[in-house]
Structure 1
Amino acid sequence: MRMRKKKWAIPFLKSQTDLVIENPSIYKGKWKEKLNRNSIRVEIGIGKGAYFDGMSKMYNEDGWIGIEKELNVAAIAAKKLSEEPLENRVLITKDAKDILDWFDKGEIDIIHLNFSDPWPKRSTRKRRLTHSNFIDQYTEILSEEGKIVFKTDNSGLFEFSIIEFTHNGYIIEEISVDYRREKHDEDVITEYEAKFIELNQPIYRLVLKKGRI
């Protein structure tokens, strides 16, 4: 269900000039300089920002770029992030289909995909963030040793993603079909995960390494 429009969302996002990057393409090839870090992570679809907030604090040695195209949701995340400004993180409120315009070849070290929309209908599968159309772009912007960390509650999307990534040359480094069965203090629990854990639903997780081209 789509979130009700928040009148304050767009004005607030525009006011956060240090946090929200209006024109990300101007930093293409310069993100390490912008964030003053030698390693850059991207989370696509940060939602309300709990994971992004927690991970960017836990791994402060890395630069963090959050992407969220839904402005109402992005505004909630921005509000949370603005409460504790950090130099190592920024937010892009645009559609991830344009990431090649924002990031240079090999510029990103890790991409996080958390509970992406499964787009269950066959006619909408190309919109999945783990479809080959997106994977081709990830391959372009990831560094030589770059990785993708993917989590979902949807078994169908998980199986689809394994096939898509391996067909595109990615190597599975870690795989779990019940990730939160054990404690993982090194990985922040997202808003969605908390709900699924409460319902005793399994969390599926992949860590994939970019293959040699």
Structure 2
Amino acid sequence: MRLRNKPWAKDKLLEYPQFVILEPEQHRGHWDKVFAVAQPIHIEIGTGKGRFITEMAKANPHINYIGIELQVSVIVSALDRLIEADLPNCKLMNVNAEELENYFSASDVERVYLNFSDPWPKTRHEKRRLTFKSFLSVYEKILVKNGEVHFKTDNQGLFEYSLMSFSQYGMLLKYVSLDLHNSEFEGNVMTEYEQKFSSRGNRIYRCEVQFQSK
């Protein structure tokens, strides 16, 4: 589905610096000063319309959350949700995930969430997948020691590929579900895509993996 352009979106982001981190490179290594309370930071890459990140922030006030989204016409919807919720422990960044090292230094982040990422099914696009080894290397560099990646998708092919990618990188598989909504997992927060796909009867896959100290 073609994304509807919102020419006013960038201006709206500028109007809410309390929720949108406008110059994240200035905070590299000093994220404890960005939030009202210095707490562990979890980031979601590809936050979409913001349902997951805002609900997680509501449920876990002891954690600071950052939703990262490249598409400006999408992240404004997450901004609307965040404005309504008015959460002090949740902020947004309109940046490219490939450039995370420009914004976070070693140990700035405790956990990375990847929810319903673009599967990029063609082999020639493998390097664009957010679970490709080059992205895993970036996550490892910004995460704390033994930091984790939590991954959800409805795409079986991407899930299988990702498990292989995690294993080849030497990561520890801590949890895996081949049918999340029919499992005993507690505390699941659904994304917009997750609600849409599960309502169609699609199986949801989920895993938690951890980088191992070298």
Taking structure 2 as the reference length, the TM-score comes to 0.96
Q: Which stretches of structure 1, 4 residues or more, deviate above 3 A after TM superposition?
A: 182-185
1:163-178 alignment, distance < 5 Å = 163-178=164-179
* C-alpha RMSD of the superposition: 1.2
The residue aligned with 2:109 is 108
The residue aligned with 1:23 is 23
- Three-state SS of the structure 2 residue aligned to 1:32 is helix
The residue aligned with 1:34 is 34
For residues 73-115 of structure 1, give each alpha carbon's deviation from its aligned partner in whole angstroms, at most 9, with x where no partner exists.
Answer: 0011111111122221111001110000111112111100000
The residue aligned with 2:61 is 60
**Alpha-carbon distance, 1:165 to partner:** 1.0
Give the partner amino acid of 1:94: V
For residues 10-69 of structure 1, give each alpha carbon's deviation from its aligned partner in whole angstroms, at most 9, with x where no partner exists.
Answer: 221111111111110111111123222321100000000011110011111001111000
State the alpha-carbon separation in 1 of the partners of residues 157 and 85 from structure 2: 37
The residue aligned with 1:12 is 12
Gaps spanning 5+ residues in structure 1: where? none
Give the partner amino acid of 2:12: F
- Between the two proteins, what is the percent identity of the paired residues? 36
Q: How many residues are treated as equivalent by the alignment? A: 213
1:1-213 alignment, distance < 5 Å = 1-35=1-35, 36-182=37-183, 184-213=185-214
State the alpha-carbon separation in 2 of the partners of residues 84 and 116 from structure 1: 25
**Alpha-carbon distance, 1:184 to partner:** 4.7
User: Residues 32 and 63 of structure 1 are in contact (CA less than 8 Å); yes or no, is this contact kept in structure 2?
Assistant: no
User: Residues 56 and 62 of structure 1 are in contact (CA less than 8 Å); yes or no, is this contact kept in structure 2?
Assistant: yes
**Alpha-carbon distance, 1:183 to partner:** 6.1
State the alpha-carbon separation in 2 of the partners of residues 207 and 32 from structure 1: 25
Worse-superposed segment, 35-44 or 134-143: 35-44
State the alpha-carbon separation in 1 of the partners of residues 86 and 188 from structure 2: 21
Give the partner amino acid of 1:47: G
User: Residues 106 and 143 of structure 2 are in contact (CA less than 8 Å); yes or no, is this contact kept in structure 1?
Assistant: yes
Worse-superposed segment, 84-93 or 143-152: 84-93
State the alpha-carbon separation in 2 of the partners of residues 54 and 185 from structure 1: 15
**Alpha-carbon distance, 1:182 to partner:** 3.4
User: Residues 174 and 210 of structure 2 are in contact (CA less than 8 Å); yes or no, is this contact kept in structure 1?
Assistant: yes
Give the partner amino acid of 1:33: K
**Alpha-carbon distance, 1:187 to partner:** 2.0
Gaps spanning 5+ residues in structure 2: where? none
